[in-house]
Amino acid sequence: MLDTVPPNGLIEVQDVEKVYRTGRLEYPALRGVDLSVEAGDFLSIVGPSGSGKSTILNVITGIDRPTAGTVRVGEALLNDMDEEELAVWRGEHVGIVFQFFQLLPTLTALENAMLPLDFARLGSVTDRIERARHNLALVGLVDKADHLPLELSGGEQQRVAIARALACDPTLLVADEPTGNLDTDTAQHILELLAKLNADGMTVLYVTHDRELAGYANSTVHVKDGRVVDGGLAPDHGIGS
Amino acid sequence: MRSALQRRSWKELSRRRARSVFTVLTIAAAVTALWMFAIPQLTNRAMDEQVEEHRLDHVLLTPGQFSLTDEQVEELRALPNVDGLDVRSGFGNPIAFGNNRQDAQFVAIRDFEDQQVNVVTIQDGAAPGFGELLVDPQNSRSGRLAATTGDMLTLISPRGGSGDFKISGVGGSLRFSDNAREGAPVVYLTQETFEDLTKSANFAWLNFRVADRTGDRLAETLSAVRTTFEGMVGEVEYQTVPQIRPEGDWPGRESMENVTTVFYVLASLAALSALFMVFTTMNAVVREQTDEIGVMKAIGGRRRQIAWSYMRTAAIIGFAGTAAGLVVGVTLSNLLLQAISPSLMTITPGWGISWPLAALSVVVGVGGSMLASLPAVFRAARVPVHEALSDRGVSASFGQGWLDRTLQRSTRLPRMAQMGLRNTARRKASSLAAGLQVGIAVGIALGLLMLGTTVLHAADEWRNAIGGDIEVNDGRGTPGLKQRIESVPGVAEVEGVYWSTAGVAEQRPSMLGLEATTTLFGRDLVEGRWFTQQEAEDLARVAVVGLPLAELAGLAVGDVVPVETPNGPETLEIIGIDRNMTDDGKVIYVPIETHYDMDLRSVPNWYWVRTSDADEAFIDEVAAGIATSLSSRSYEPYLEINYIDANAARAEERLILGIVSILGIPIVLIGLVGLASTMTMAVLDRTREIGILRSIGAGAKDVRRMIRAEGLALAAFGWALALPLGFLSGWAMVWVIGRAFNASFGLVPPYWAVLPALAVTLALAVAIVHRPARRAINLSPGTALRYE
């Protein structure tokens, strides 16, 4: 367990536990996790199904609240924020890519891509459209801006999801099994895209169960049974429990 | 021990708790609506008991003034097949109670202890002794006279002066209480008091009951009574034809049946509306579980087994809804009956349950639910397994149709409003069903308003048909009365009318003899013509009939019909049909000269008086002047002031329409439940999507706006459907009422209500979506994303 925050630390997860309660049953998804991520990192989180890797992402993004422990991202201590504050914070600082794309089916690719800007009320509508187009161009889909998700392939939908995640120019991009529903070639393209974003300075975290896909990242954290078992990182990265 | 399939049927209830609750509520509303059919049954049952308890007459004879000894009365009672006979006397007289002065009807009872027909029962206090009075309970219920036991009532003598009489109690009879409901207050007194007041021992009515009225027995008994009676009193000039009460009829029944016709219409609409909603709800439930049905088929489930599993769930929901509906329906129908019976009947019936209707409720509630789910279940069971199992990811139902493309152009709206609007097109069937339910609910409400405005407008028109402000009823007709009335200050116009009754084609209408050039009767001919002055002078046997009478008796212009009059048969040619509802439209209008000739009369027995000012206080003054003037000459006519009757009638009509509107509430509720169910399920279905929105920065306000926009869009769509539906339902209800009254109504659409209806519908939609929206917002994104 770390006693101090590394000088460039963007994310600090300290002794986090997460227990899910369903009726009379309790399921400990995380059993005391410590994790530090520096700004600019490209980190993959690997583990078998049910190991808690997605839960780690959820507590980092505030989608789930830890049962114990603290989570700090940048200057935000997530434990102190209520749901409304978390939603606003996410919109402005975090981009999230889901396994099943989760695009809004009634919005076009452009509209999906500018949705976080609408929530954050950043700039005029024209500015938002321009920014969304820029992000779609970044992911190579500006020619499909007016298409509904129904009219896009799986890979295209995931790229639109990435464009959406980039809407507010976040400091952190997280992706939960971003290639889980894609074929090998498409998966490779998506991860190359994430790598490119990281190369441009964005901190990127992604979860995968595939060790080969995990290798695209600069560093990997292994999770098993709700614990981080192996950092696989350079010694100056702070990890472990 | 239950199989897994059977357990699944039960667990389905708690899986979608909100939907189960809404479906149960809807079925309960449908069953409750069915119980409106119980009101007529409960009423008839109560009235049948009352008819026997009060020994309502079968025949009423009006032979004018006559005298019989006690022995002669007993001789008439002993005639074969006579099961009770009474002779009664009565008179009309002004009374005063507090500051209120009006004319009342007095009915003398020979012996309160020995009443065989139209029994007057004591409800409070005691039977009157000599110099005391008994007031009918309907007097206070109708608002005409509030006097009760212990009060003093002043009788104003026709010869001047007055006398105070103590009220010994409150009591009434079905026969006379109906008069108090529709006409003047009714007061009972002993025969001794009557003779002391009037200085006359004559009777005016003879009523009797028969033991056996099958076949010709009643006619034979009537003939025997008349023959024996005429043998006792000598020559008789009957004032009306014999009034024979049809089997099963009772005073106020016609009014009750007319109102209950509307009950039937509304109950049917409510039940249909609810069943429609059950159908769409069960459809939605099954459609959402297409993938589960696919799984069951994949692991060996047969279509029939799968179908039975859903039908079992539907049956359980049906039982729950039926039970709730029975409790509410029985309570509501009895409460409504208690509320309307004083206005429409003369009794307050006790509580009752209609067992046949209870059985029907179970059939409709349980059977209806099961049947409603069948189409969707069979449809889903036919979907190929692979297709059913591939229900994942992006919705495949938006973007392909013209509606979706149209909604995509709604870019000028705020983003969340756009999303809410577009969401209505994602489940088109559900949205259409919700819109229809709202449309039916709001449409019925508008239809009821149209019924109300049409009927009230028509009723006012018909009341104004008789243009006089005061009516003077003179009984048998007094020479010189018209001139006397004309001489009273404030009287602008007087028209004499001759009234009697007649018999035509088994109907017993009134017969009015009017001036050919009448100015105080507002003719409203729908066919034919009025009689001419020449025909009047020629004593021509021509007649104009009321539209309801024409339809009941099958009369048409040009017909030459036999008519029974108090003085024998006549033949009249029908030359016109009039739409006015004088005497409910069951009336024959003839030239007054012709009427005199038929009835061997020469003077009117009814006068319509128009005052020179329509102010109510002025009319009261003129009426008092007429009463005083006539009293000073020992005339004893009976005055009616039309604005008082009109106000009382309007109050009753408004009460009835108010009650009818209340009956529309189940339908409106069903529509709102439908909208609530659709919105709740729409939000629940998008829980994961809402989780995503919250994950990418949507605030609570954003989510609320989206949900509200969807609710408002559905409500507005429903309102748009409500306009044609409302007009159609209103037209249908007016038509049904018209058939019931045999009347013709001119529609009066409530255009003023269109925009307020939109405002109310939208406001209700906002209220309805509040709870599901709050639930969605309060879920943490993590929980929402894991929602299935």
pLDDT digits (tens, 9 = 90+) for B61-115: 998 889 999 999 999 999 999 999 999 998 888 888 876 777 889 999 988 998 9
Q: Over 80: is that where the pLDDT of B290 sits?
A: no
β-strand partners of B573: B542, B560
In this structure, what are the phi and psi dihedrals at residue B114, rounded to the nearest 5 degrees?
Answer: -130, 70
Give the pLDDT score at B741.
Answer: 67
Query: Per the CB < 8 Å rule, is B398 touching A150?
Result: yes
Helix pair B303-344, B355-362: axis angle to 10 deg: 150
In this structure, what are the phi and psi dihedrals at residue B415, rounded to the nearest 5 degrees?
Answer: -55, -50
CA B432 to chain centre: 33
- CA distances A121 to A92, A99, A106, B59, Å, are 10, 27, 20, 86
Give the pLDDT score at B4.
Answer: 66
Query: Per the CB < 8 Å rule, is B780 touching A83?
Result: yes
Nearest to B781 among A63, A100, A115 (CB): A63
Query: Per the CB < 8 Å rule, is B700 touching A84?
Result: yes
3-class state of residue B584 by DSSP: helix
Q: How many CB atoms lie within 10 A of CB A127?
A: 12
Give the pLDDT score at A232.
Answer: 44
- CA distances B68 to B73, B203, B230, B234, B573, Å, are 7, 8, 11, 11, 40
Query: Per the CB < 8 Å rule, is B697 touching A120?
Result: yes
Give the pLDDT score at B479.
Answer: 83
CB B674 within 8 A of CB B437: yes
Amino acid identity of B315? A
Query: Per the CB < 8 Å rule, is A64 touching B699?
Result: no
Count the alpha carbons within 13 Å of A79 in the hemisphere toward its beta carbon: 14
Q: Which helix (H) or strand (E) holds B693?
A: helix B687-695
- From the list B786, B769, B771, the residue with the least C-alpha distance to B691 is B786
- Tell me the shortest Cα–Cα distance from A200 to chain B, in angstroms: 22
Give the pLDDT score at B69.
Answer: 92
Q: Over 90: is that where the pLDDT of B18 sits?
A: no
Mutation choice for A interface testing from B407, B687, B695, B785 by most A CBs within 10 A: B695
Angle at A24 between CA A20 and CA A27, to 5 degrees: 30
Angle at A91 between CA A86 and CA A95, to 5 degrees: 110
Phi-psi region of B768 (alpha: psi -120 to 50; beta: other; left: phi over 0): alpha
Query: Per the CB < 8 Å rule, is B696 touching A116?
Result: yes
Chain B CB contacts of A84 under 8 Å are: 699-700
pLDDT, mean of residues B270-291: 73
B472 vs B459, residue with greater confidence: B472
Assign 3-class secondary structure to B233-273: HCCCCCCCCCEECCCCCCCCHHHHHHHHHHHHHHHHHHHHH
Alpha helices in B390-538, H assignment, sequence order: 402-408, 415-423, 428-463, 481-486, 533-537
Chain A CB contacts of B699 under 8 Å are: 84, 87-88, 119
Any A CB within 8 A of B425 CB:
yes
Query: Per the CB < 8 Å rule, is A88 touching B699?
Result: yes
What secondary structure letter does DSSP report for A74? T
- CA distances A49 to A190, B51, B219, Å, are 21, 82, 96
Give the pLDDT score at B405.
Answer: 79
Any A CB within 8 A of B600 CB:
no
The band of A73, judged by pLDDT with boundaries at 50, 70 and 90, is very high
- From the list B678, B668, B688, B685, the residue with the least C-alpha distance to B712 is B678
Any A CB within 8 A of B780 CB:
yes
Query: Per the CB < 8 Å rule, is B399 touching A150?
Result: yes
Give the pLDDT score at A238.
Answer: 37
Chain A CB contacts of B392 under 8 Å are: 100
* Radius of gyration of chain A, Cα coordinates, nearest whole angstrom: 18
B747 vs B206, residue with greater confidence: B206
ipTM of the complex: 0.75
Give the pLDDT score at B267.
Answer: 74
Count the alpha carbons within 13 Å of B150 in the hemisphere toward its beta carbon: 1
Residue with tokens 């969304």: A132
A23 vs B250, residue with greater confidence: B250
Instruction: Report the alpha-carbon distance of residue B123 to residue B146 in Å, rounded.
Output: 15
Instruction: Report the alpha-carbon distance of residue B57 to residue B208 in Å, rounded.
Output: 5
**Sign of torsion, CA B654 B659 B664 B670?**
positive
Amino acid identity of B111? D
Q: Over 70: is that where the pLDDT of B163 sits?
A: yes
- Tell me the shortest Cα–Cα distance from A68 to chain B, in angstroms: 16
Q: Quote the mean pLDDT of chain B.
A: 83
Nearest CA in chain B to A56: B782
pLDDT digits (tens, 9 = 90+) for A93-134: 999 998 888 888 888 899 889 888 888 888 888 899 999 999
Query: Per the CB < 8 Å rule, is B697 touching A106?
Result: no
**Sign of torsion, CA B54 B55 B59 B60?**
negative
Query: Per the CB < 8 Å rule, is A104 touching B689?
Result: yes
Residues written for chain A? 241
Any A CB within 8 A of B781 CB:
yes
Q: Over 80: is that where the pLDDT of B272 sits?
A: no
Chain A CB contacts of B696 under 8 Å are: 90-91, 96, 115-116, 119, 164-165
pLDDT, mean of residues B47-73: 89
Instruction: Report the alpha-carbon distance of residue A148 to residue A104 in Å, rounded.
Output: 9
- Tell me the shortest Cα–Cα distance from A164 to chain B, in angstroms: 9
- Token representation of residue A6: 């590394």
pLDDT, mean of residues B755-762: 91
Chain B CB contacts of A120 under 8 Å are: 697
CB B154 within 8 A of CB B97: yes
The band of B327, judged by pLDDT with boundaries at 50, 70 and 90, is very high
pLDDT above 70 coverage of chain B, percent = 89
- Tell me the shortest Cα–Cα distance from B317 to chain A, in angstroms: 25
Give the pLDDT score at B464.
Answer: 67
CB B566 within 8 A of CB B501: yes
In this structure, what are the phi and psi dihedrals at residue B507, rounded to the nearest 5 degrees?
Answer: -100, 155
**Sign of torsion, CA A109 A110 A113 A116?**
negative
- From the list B777, B422, B781, B696, the residue with the least C-alpha distance to A117 is B696
- Tell me the shortest Cα–Cα distance from B300 to chain A, in angstroms: 29
| Cα dihedral: B445, B448, B450, B454 (round 10) | -170
The band of B414, judged by pLDDT with boundaries at 50, 70 and 90, is confident
Assign 3-class secondary structure to B500-560: EECEECCECCEEEEECCCCCCECCCEEEECCCCHHHHHCCCCEEEEEHHHHHHHCCCCCCE
- Token representation of residue B442: 């709001």
What secondary structure letter does DSSP report for A144? G
- Token representation of residue B409: 């152009």
Nearest to A106 among B419, B693, B700 (CB): B419
Instruction: Report the alpha-carbon distance of residue B643 to residue B637 in Å, rounded.
Output: 19
Nearest CA in chain A to B415: A118
Give the pLDDT score at B392.
Answer: 43
The band of A6, judged by pLDDT with boundaries at 50, 70 and 90, is very low
What secondary structure letter does DSSP report for A196? H
Q: Which of residues 680-699 of B touch A (CB under 8 A)?
A: 688-689, 691-699
Instruction: Report the alpha-carbon distance of residue A60 to residue B496 in Å, rounded.
Output: 98
Chain A CB contacts of B419 under 8 Å are: 104, 106-107
Give the pLDDT score at B2.
Answer: 60
Residues written for chain B? 788
Chain B CB contacts of A61 under 8 Å are: 695
pLDDT above 90 coverage of chain B, percent = 30
- From the list B366, B154, B682, B660, the residue with the least C-alpha distance to A106 is B682
Give the pLDDT score at A231.
Answer: 60
Chain A CB contacts of B702 under 8 Å are: 119
pLDDT digits (tens, 9 = 90+) for B537-569: 999 999 999 998 998 899 999 999 999 988 889
Instruction: Report the alpha-carbon distance of residue A141 to residue B473 in Å, rounded.
Output: 94
Q: Read out DSSP for B362-386?
A: HIIIIIHHHHHHHHHHHHHHHS-HH
Angle at A153 between CA A149 and CA A157, to 5 degrees: 50
- From the list B380, B367, B364, B358, the residue with the least C-alpha distance to B314 is B367
Give the pLDDT score at B302.
Answer: 73
The band of A237, judged by pLDDT with boundaries at 50, 70 and 90, is very low
Instruction: Report the alpha-carbon distance of residue B284 to residue B423 in Å, rounded.
Output: 16
CB B105 within 8 A of CB B228: no
Query: Per the CB < 8 Å rule, is A106 touching B425?
Result: yes
Nearest CA in chain A to B426: A106
Helix pair B4-15, B17-34: axis angle to 10 deg: 90
pLDDT above 70 coverage of chain A, percent = 92
Amino acid identity of B586? K
pLDDT digits (tens, 9 = 90+) for B577-605: 998 877 878 999 999 999 999 987 888 98
β-strand partners of B514: B591
Q: Over 60: is that where the pLDDT of B457 sits?
A: yes
Give the pLDDT score at B385.
Answer: 65
pLDDT above 90 coverage of chain A, percent = 53
Give the pLDDT score at A2.
Answer: 34
Residue with tokens 């243009």: B467
The band of B150, judged by pLDDT with boundaries at 50, 70 and 90, is very high
Chain A CB contacts of B408 under 8 Å are: 106, 108
Any A CB within 8 A of B396 CB:
yes
pLDDT digits (tens, 9 = 90+) for A153-189: 989 999 999 999 999 999 999 999 988 888 888 888 8
Give the pLDDT score at B12.
Answer: 72
Any A CB within 8 A of B702 CB:
yes
Query: Per the CB < 8 Å rule, is A87 touching B692?
Result: no
Nearest to A87 among B392, B393, B694 (CB): B694
Query: Per the CB < 8 Å rule, is A106 touching B422?
Result: yes
Q: Which helix (H) or strand (E) holds B573?
A: strand B568-578
CB B520 within 8 A of CB B507: no
Helix pair B253-288, B368-382: axis angle to 10 deg: 30
Q: Which helix (H) or strand (E) holds A149?
A: none
First-to-final CA distance of chain A: 5
pLDDT digits (tens, 9 = 90+) for B598-637: 987 888 989 999 999 988 888 888 888 888 788 776 666 6
